Structure 1
Amino acid sequence: MSFAEPLHDIAHLGGIELFTPRFERSLWYFHDLLGMEVVHRNGSSAYLRGWGDHSVSTLKLTSADRPGVGCIAWRTVSPQALERRAEAITADGLAIGWTNGDFGRGRSFRFCDPDGHLMELYFEEQKYDPPARLRSALKNQPQKYTGRGVGVRRTDHLALLAADVGRNRRFAESTLGFQLREQVLFEQGKREIGSWMSPNAIHHQLAYVADVKGGHGRLHHISMWVDNREDVLRAADILVENAIFVEAGPSKHNNSQGFYLYSYEPGGNRVEIYSGSYLVLAPDWRPVTWNEEERGSGTYWGAPLPESFIQYATPDIEPPGRKSDSLDLPVFF
């Protein structure tokens, strides 16, 4: 049996930038309701972290006219790996170039994936050094658990929309070295609806899903990790009590086996509170493929995902042939 040696130049998801037209309300959502810490502010941006994140920041909020995703950062396993991936991306014709790095990061290489999402690779990273009030009694825990709001532990993954899922999946596999975990194929395998991938043992840190409106560079959701299902249920109470619309869940996905709750932060971006799932340690993992019948509603149990889950992403756009006259959030089914 032939076996291609895995490419392990990328270590993990390093950080996500979110654009929001309601900056202060979005900051309230992530700090007060989700329990993240603000570690730095610079101009129109704020940098946050979960209590279990080891780096100084994993989420950047930036004020903008419309919601959506900004730069998605991936950490490499070494400076040499950073150089290798930069060369490979340049050969693919997707390079933007080198920068001095954002807050908490060293020299970085920026590029776009085939669908136009902005990304960067880096190696040098500032570790979190908590102030005395946040220092944990556990030497192996970067910060004490504050018990504020949901208390999300870390930034876990994100899902991006793409006009051509297959093209983006192949780029992530061949050029970045991601490993395919699961995918959804319709029409007897001819149409790739979604692919879930990771550069490490976490089930997926990146997913590409078909953009039904034919857009480019759009965000489906970001995901925040909590330790158990009870935390997800508690999150539902906290969000509803604070008038945050819960779009779907709590329920369990069939794909990934993740236990989930989807809500919208005040700027309009979809945020998942997530737990469960499974790790993949096998180097010769065979990707799991789902067809139309097997995929069903996308849930193992619980209420089916609503139509908005397919139709809405950020920034929102109108379907082809229809002129948009509003940036309001869509009507939910």
Structure 2
Amino acid sequence: MALTGVLRPGHVVLRVMDLDKAVAHYTDALGLIEVARDDKGRVFFKAWDEADHHSVVLRQADEAGMDYMGWKVDSAATLERLAGDVKNSGLVTDTSWIAAGEHPHTGKRFRFTIPTGHVMELYAQKDATGCSTGYLNPEPWPDGLKGMAPSRFDHCLLYGDDLDGTVKLFTEVLGFGLAEEVVAGPEKFRIAAFLSCSNKVHDVAFIRQPMKNKFHHASFLLDNWYEVLKAADIISKRKISIDLGPTRHGITRGETIYFFDPSGNRNEVFAGGYIYYPDKPTVTWTDDQLGPAIFYHDRKLNEAFLSVVT
């Protein structure tokens, strides 16, 4: 298999201010599947087509936002190698090892803080409890799905100050490719980066902002544009706080709608995008074209979308 090193986003841990309301939102409206609760009060979820035990974790807190994002790597040997490389890069702080079992069904994790202030972790092992269709003569989708029913947790968009250091870490140390970027002015100052460790158009994206460690959204994959439109109906039917869409991005070519969980964490459901290969030239957008880059149909910016973060 050619895909090695960091394989994919493995989990995101979100803070919510009312756990019961959040659980109802993520199961009944978004359509994730609850798989476990632990003695710390955390609730663990997965999407229907994910093999590993969990991909989304919620915990009760006094403010909303993201605690950390986890990345699955291809082997225990790769975990040890990348942990050493990250530690020796001079680009991270607060490195530590988290013992196996701290997340259920999950091996040890290497945790670190990146230049934008976000906490990331790498791990090699999480029990494959299986997807909802199984792996022997499966149907294309399972019965009994709820809500929008995404097939997987797809990516996060994060805000922070040291974009240059974070891009350097992800590209030069962790092996990601820079699929797309946004640059400003004649000096082409980079203000956004869309990074991929796979064939997806992005697995994580960062926007340069003066604050550290801010969370813009977690995104979940749908199959097609029709499912995005159906998600819009569900959002309206359930009177969920909508942000923007349904629309298309110029960046990534993805079809999208944004909305908020009960604590104010932004969610996205997303379809489309193109296949990314490491030898594909980086797509560059200039700041004078930010309108169609972000909202291809309206071709203009929305200040609330750009400024509301947790």
TM-score by length of 2: 0.92
1:225 to 218, 221, 227: 221
2:288 to 266, 281, 293: 293
Contact 1:159 1:209 in 2 (8 A): yes
3-state DSSP of counterpart to 2:8: strand
Contact 2:291 2:301 in 1 (8 A): no
- The alpha-carbon distance between structure 1 residues 275 and 99, as it changes in their structure 2 partners (threshold 3 A), is same
Shift of 1:242: 1.0
Query: Using the alignment, how far apart are the partners of 1:7 and 1:201 within structure 2?
Result: 9
1:261 corresponds to 2:260 = no
1:76 corresponds to 2:77 = no
- The alpha-carbon distance between structure 1 residues 88 and 202, as it changes in their structure 2 partners (threshold 3 A), is same
Following superposition, which runs of at least 4 residues in structure 1 exceed 6 angstroms of deviation?
none
- The alpha-carbon distance between structure 1 residues 143 and 230, as it changes in their structure 2 partners (threshold 3 A), is closer
Shift of 1:34: 1.2
Shift of 1:294: 3.0
Residue pairs, 1:143-222, within 5 angstroms: 144-211=142-209, 214-222=210-218
Residue pairs, 1:246-325, within 5 angstroms: 246-281=242-277, 283-297=278-292, 298-302=294-298, 304-314=300-310
- The alpha-carbon distance between structure 1 residues 138 and 293, as it changes in their structure 2 partners (threshold 3 A), is farther
Which residue pairs with 2:105 in the alignment? 104
Q: 1:15-74 deviations in whole A, cap 9, x for unaligned?
A: 100111121111111100111110000132100011011111000011111011012100
Query: Using the alignment, how far apart are the partners of 1:41 and 1:189 within structure 2?
Result: 50
Which residue pairs with 1:38 in the alignment? 34
1:115 corresponds to 2:111 = no
Code of the aligned partner of 2:239: A
Query: Using the alignment, how far apart are the partners of 1:141 and 1:125 within structure 2?
Result: 25
Query: Using the alignment, how far apart are the partners of 2:190 and 2:143 within structure 1?
Result: 41
Q: 1:202-256 deviations in whole A, cap 9, x for unaligned?
A: 1101000122xx2111101100111111111011111111111111000000000
Contact 1:23 1:267 in 2 (8 A): no
Q: 1:307-328 deviations in whole A, cap 9, x for unaligned?
A: 11111100xxxxxxxxxxxxxx
Code of the aligned partner of 1:188: P
The sequence identity of aligned pairs, in percent, is: 28
Code of the aligned partner of 2:104: F
Contact 1:184 1:290 in 2 (8 A): yes
Deviates more, 1:162-171 or 1:191-200: 162-171
TM-score by length of 1: 0.86
Query: Using the alignment, how far apart are the partners of 1:194 and 1:180 within structure 2?
Result: 10
What is the total number of aligned residue pairs between the two structures? 303
- The alpha-carbon distance between structure 1 residues 137 and 288, as it changes in their structure 2 partners (threshold 3 A), is closer
3-state DSSP of counterpart to 1:232: helix
Superposition RMSD on alpha carbons, in Å?
A: 2.1
Which residue pairs with 1:326 in the alignment? none
Code of the aligned partner of 1:46: V
Structure 2 spans left out of the alignment, 5+ residues: none
Code of the aligned partner of 2:98: T
Which residue pairs with 1:26 in the alignment? 22
Query: Using the alignment, how far apart are the partners of 1:291 and 1:129 within structure 2?
Result: 43
Query: Using the alignment, how far apart are the partners of 1:54 and 1:82 within structure 2?
Result: 20
3-state DSSP of counterpart to 1:121: strand
Query: Using the alignment, how far apart are the partners of 1:215 and 1:156 within structure 2?
Result: 24
3-state DSSP of counterpart to 2:154: strand
3-state DSSP of counterpart to 1:16: strand
Query: Using the alignment, how far apart are the partners of 1:34 and 1:278 within structure 2?
Result: 24
Shift of 1:296: 2.7
Contact 1:248 1:305 in 2 (8 A): no
3-state DSSP of counterpart to 2:35: strand
Contact 2:133 2:140 in 1 (8 A): yes
Query: Using the alignment, how far apart are the partners of 2:288 and 2:130 within structure 1?
Result: 49
Query: Using the alignment, how far apart are the partners of 2:169 and 2:3 within structure 1?
Result: 13
Query: Using the alignment, how far apart are the partners of 1:143 and 1:64 within structure 2?
Result: 35
Contact 1:249 1:303 in 2 (8 A): no
- The alpha-carbon distance between structure 1 residues 126 and 176, as it changes in their structure 2 partners (threshold 3 A), is same
Residue pairs, 1:79-94, within 5 angstroms: 79-93=76-90, 94=92
Structure 1 spans left out of the alignment, 5+ residues: 1-5, 315-333
Query: Using the alignment, how far apart are the partners of 1:74 and 1:148 within structure 2?
Result: 27
Query: Using the alignment, how far apart are the partners of 1:137 and 1:74 within structure 2?
Result: 24
Which residue pairs with 1:3 in the alignment? none
Shift of 1:8: 4.3
3-state DSSP of counterpart to 1:71: strand
Query: Using the alignment, how far apart are the partners of 1:230 and 1:135 within structure 2?
Result: 22
Query: Using the alignment, how far apart are the partners of 2:217 and 2:164 within structure 1?
Result: 19
